[in-house]
Amino acid sequence: MRKPPKPTRPARKRPLPAQSEGKGERSPRPDASQSERKARTGASQSERKARPDAPGRAASVAPKDAKQATPSEIKTIPAAISTARAGKPASDPTAQRVVRSSERFAEKARLHRRLLLRKYLIGAVILAAAVTGAWLVFFSSVFSLRSGEVSVMGAGEFVDKSEVVAVLDSEVGTPLARLDLDEISQRVAQVRGVSSGIVRRDWPHGVRVNVAQRTPVAAVKSDDTYVLLDADGVRVGEVAEAPDDLALAKVPLKKERESSLAAVLTVLDAIPPELREEITEIGADTRDTVYFALEDDVRVEWGSADDSALKVSVLSVLRQEDAKVYDVSAPTLPVTRNK
């Protein structure tokens, strides 16, 4: 007869791994590495082989030679591995820094392009404004000289304003910026009675002319008129009668007498106005024999035009004595005569 089978003992639950002596430390986590799990499984199998009489019973005490995993040997799984196990791609900090740097460089490039475009636009606007302004000022009729916009200042008795304005008739319609003021001034100076002229622009459409009038110092009879001459011998004007405030020059207007006339005019320009007003007539046979007559039939022998300032001083002293003739042709040796 067969022996009845021995009753089997129910399998005991596997005791929990002993906690480490460290305070607050727990047993290895269920997600320990596969190598650690294999080590524990091998230790259990070796324990069962060592005790064949108790199959399936877990040992209460682990064999001494079995190597148990300590908390210090349990290593934390890197974030990259845990992320990969979770099905998520691992993030690379270096790649993220490269992406951020690329974005910053792209933003700087866009900003630089915007600034460069703004600079080009501003330059184009300035250039267009400059070209437009230059065209308006130099080539258009916006700022051109208009008829009736010429003003003459300084003209007196011997200057005809209409003659000065006529000089600028040919410039009507020309932009003011293109007027040659020096050339116009030279033409104005050629007008009779004008000593010099200064021409200025009077924006936006006019011109202002300042003239200096020539001052006549003598009148010379020529046919039926009297020609008025200034100190340079330039004709200032013509009158029908001799002016009372001008000396009458007894020198004919002939080419061979030009030196004598020039000496007379030089003397008249050198003597003071109060003495000039007393002269009734003046003449000269040569350039060194100038003479003039004063009121009360007094004659003054002046000689040449040299040392005129000294001769004026000497004559003022000599006239303190009554005489009919005062000879100052040699101012250092003056002579007075009664006839």
Per residue in 221-239, pLDDT (tens digit) is 988 899 999 988 898 888 8
Q: Which of 9-18, 31-40, 119-128, 241-250 has the highest mean pLDDT?
A: 119-128
Q: Which residue has the higher pLDDT, 79 or 159?
A: 159
Q: What is the pLDDT of residue 260?
A: 92
Residue indicated by tokens 């209409």? 162
Q: What is the pLDDT of residue 52?
A: 45
pLDDT at residue 196 tops 80? yes
Q: What is the pLDDT of residue 19?
A: 47
- The arithmetic mean of pLDDT across residues 299-319, rounded, is 94
Position 331 confidence tier, pLDDT thresholds 50, 70, 90 = very high
Position 339 confidence tier, pLDDT thresholds 50, 70, 90 = confident
pLDDT at residue 73 tops 80? no
Q: What is the pLDDT of residue 37?
A: 59
Q: Are strands 281-284 and 247-249 parallel, antiparallel or unpaired?
A: parallel
Terminal CA-CA length for the chain = 208
User: 259-283: per-residue pLDDT in tens?
Assistant: 999 999 999 999 999 999 899 999 9
pLDDT at residue 5 tops 90? no
CA distances from 58 to 14, 40, 53 (A): 6, 13, 12
Q: What is the pLDDT of residue 91?
A: 58
The percent of residues above 90 in pLDDT, for the chain, comes to 50
Which H/E stretch holds residue 106?
Answer: helix 93-138
Q: What is the pLDDT of residue 297?
A: 87
Contacts for 252 with CB less than 8 Å, ≥ 6 apart? 220
Q: Which residue has the higher pLDDT, 182 or 92?
A: 182
pLDDT at residue 82 tops 90? no
The percent of residues above 70 in pLDDT, for the chain, comes to 71
Helix runs in 160-295, H state only: 161-167, 181-189, 258-270, 273-276
